[in-house]
Amino acid sequence: MRILANDGLVAEAQEYLKKQGFTLDAEKRDPEDLVGEIGGYDALLVRSATKVTREVLEAGVKNGGKLKIVGRGGVGTDNIDLEAAKELGVIVKFAPNGNTNATAEHALGLMFAIARKVPLAHDALKNGTWYKKRFIGRELFGKTLGVIGCGRIGQSLAGKARGLGMKVVGFDMYHSIDSKIEYLDTIEEVLKVSDFISLHTGGTGVIIGEKELALMKNDAFLINASRGKNVSEDALYAALKKGEIGGAALDCYESEPKREGDPFKNKLQELDNIVMSAHLGASTTNAGIRTGMEIAEVVTKYLTTGDFGNSVNVGSTVAEEGTDIFTIFITHEDKPGMFGKFGMAMGELGVNIRENNSRKLAEHVQTVYVIHQKPDQVLLDKIASIEGVKRVAC
C-alpha cells in the first residue's frame, strides 16, 4: 500500500511505516498536483497546511482511486471536508495527543511573555535602549486563569498553572470534567473573574468579540493558542487601543500566510500591549516526533486491521439511529469462508450487522460481531452449528 505524507513526516514515523511494509512518499504536492495524483495512494497524511477538499477526496476515490483514509497529525480537522469524506467512504483519523504538552507550554509561555513584557524588553535592548520602569510586569502567582475549552490542552495548561499557584476556572461546552478546574456555568462568568483568559476551543466561530472583551477585567490578559477565528481581531484591536484590557498574546490569526517566509501584515502589530508568535503552539521537536508516530500508528492499524480508533467522521459504538446494540463473541478456526458463513447465517435470520472485529486467539480466532438485534438461542445455535466454530457467547 502507498501513503502520501503531504505535509512532511518525521524520520522516526517514516521508518516505522516502511517497516510495516508501506511505500511512503513525503514529497509535497501543490493542490493541482494533489488532485491529479491522490487516486494512486491508499492513505493521505496531512497537518494544517494541506487543504483536503471535496475535490481532493473525489479524485482519491473515483475512477478506480485507492484512497481509504486521511490522517491528520494534530487535533484540528478544519482543513478536511469531513462530510465529503463520509459521503465518499473515506475514514478520517487524527493524532490528538502528541501536541498537547507543547501547546499547553506555549500558552503558558505567552502568559509569562505578556505579563512580564519579555519580548518588548528584548526588543528595546536589541535596539540599544535600557528600560526598567517602562516594563514593570505582573506575576502569575495568586492570579485566576480562565480556561475556555477544557479538553486535553486546556486541562494540561490548568495543571501547569495550578503548579504556579494560580486558581483555575473554566467553561467547556462538551462538559469535560477535570479536578484541577473549577467549572463555571457560562463563558461570561469565566471572563468576569479571570486575570488571564486562555482559549482552547477550536472551530471557526468567534468566541471572544466586543461583548466578551467588555466583560473582562481592565487589567486582564487574553491568550489565544487555539484558532485565529476564535477572536475578533477588530474588537481586540479596539479594546487594546483603548486600554480596556491589560494586553493580549496571540499564536494564531484570522488570516495567516501559507508558506514559510511569506510576509505577514496585521494592524495588531502596531500596538505595544500585545505579544505575537507565528502559530508555534505545536512546533517543538518532541511534539513532532510524538505526533508523527501517533498518526503513523493509527493509520497503520486501520489499513492492516480495520481499527476505527481515533476516527473523527464515523459513528461510535453507540448506534446513531437510537437503537440498542448487542455483541456476539465467536471463537472459530482460522480458515477461509468463516466470515461469509457468519454473515449468511445472520442474514437469513434478519439480523442487522453493525460491525465486526477479529483477533488471533492461540490456534483460533475470536471475532466479535456488533448487531442491532438482541441475540436469541436460535441465532446462537445456528452460528454454533457452522463447521469450524468452537464457541459462541453473548
Please list the active-site residues.
227, 256, 279
The C-alpha atoms of residue 282 and residue 113 are separated, in whole angstroms, by 17
**Residue from 24, 47, 20 nearest 287 by CA:** 47
Q: Residue 111, exposed/middle/buried by CB under 10 A (0-12, 13-18, 19+)?
A: buried
Residues 19, 296: contact at Cβ < 8 Å?
A: no
The C-alpha atoms of residue 259 and residue 361 are separated, in whole angstroms, by 50
**Residue from 255, 212, 264 nearest 235 by CA:** 212
Residue 176 has a CB neighbour count (10 Å cut-off) of 17
The C-alpha atoms of residue 299 and residue 20 are separated, in whole angstroms, by 11
Q: Percent helix, strand and coil across the chain, each rounded to 5? A: 35, 20, 40
Helix (H) or strand (E) holding 305: helix 285-305
Residues in contact with 282: Cβ distance below 8 Å, sequence separation at least 6, in sequence order: 74, 98, 99, 102, 103, 288, 291
